[in-house]
Amino acid sequence: MIVVAIDGPGGVGKSTAARGLARRLDVPHVDTGAFYRAATLAVLRAGVDPADGPGSAEVARRAVIGWRAGRALLDGEDVEDAIRGPEVTANVSAVSAHPEVRAALLERQRAGVRERGGVVEGRDAGTVVVPDADLKVWLTAAPAERARRRAGQLGRTAPGEVERLTAELAARDDADAAQMARARDAVVMATDELEASQVLDRLEAMARSAREASGRREEARG
């Protein structure tokens, strides 16, 4: 069993890396940001003000968040597209900043790795969600590179898009700053110069040696 935490700011390639690594290791992938996104959608649908902490937490506690074939479900409905849309993206930092919302989702995030281990991605996976992870990685990339990738993902080619997305990512970094926590024992990996497959190769190699090391520790304990 192995637990890997992959954290970092938006647009550094966390999702691609975490999903790909989970597939290579044949373990679950837990996208903690998607929990916050689904809770945010529920808050907006309920007509609750995202600035209202207790109100948002109440909605989050009642929301049934699940997954089918890698797509997010809210109360049984496929909401994968909606949670990646501009309305949720514009409000998710406000909703996820409430400590009571984070408390409402934490155990559900942890449950995803309890049986078979897994790869957990987010902002605080290595510090809060799975602080005992066998491997913690903090991904970084320069703001312009993150924006360029995001533009590619979204298929936006209009002039000025990369600049606009750079500003948007910077604003979200600021809004998320309190939640972003790099574990002291995290391996920092700059992804600017790497293809996605190279990031994955490195992560897989690190994960396999972390798994061997933890196997040896378990054996030593008998």
Task: Give yes or no for residue 91 binding ligand DC (CB under 6 A).
Answer: no
Looking at 13, 22, 25, 124, which residue binds ligand DC (CB under 6 A)? 124
* CA-based R_g, the chain, Å: 17
Smallest distance, ligand DC to C-beta of residue 7, A: 7
User: Do the beta carbons of residue 95 and residue 33 sit within 8 Å?
Assistant: no
Looking at 37, 98, 146, 149, which residue binds ligand DC (CB under 6 A)? 37
The residue to which tokens 């989050």 are assigned: 60
The residue to which tokens 């935490």 are assigned: 5
Task: Give yes or no for residue 93 binding ligand DC (CB under 6 A).
Answer: yes
CA distances from 54 to 29, 61, 64 (A): 29, 10, 18
Smallest distance, ligand DC to C-beta of residue 36, A: 4
93 is written with which tokens?
A: 């930092």
How many C-beta neighbours within 10 Å does residue 8 have?
Answer: 25
Smallest distance, ligand DC to C-beta of residue 222, A: 35
Task: Give yes or no for residue 56 binding ligand DC (CB under 6 A).
Answer: no
The residue to which tokens 């400590």 are assigned: 99
Looking at 36, 60, 117, 210, which residue binds ligand DC (CB under 6 A)? 36
List interacting residues with ligand DC (CB under 6 A). Answer: 10, 32-33, 36-37, 92-93, 96, 122-124, 172, 176, 179
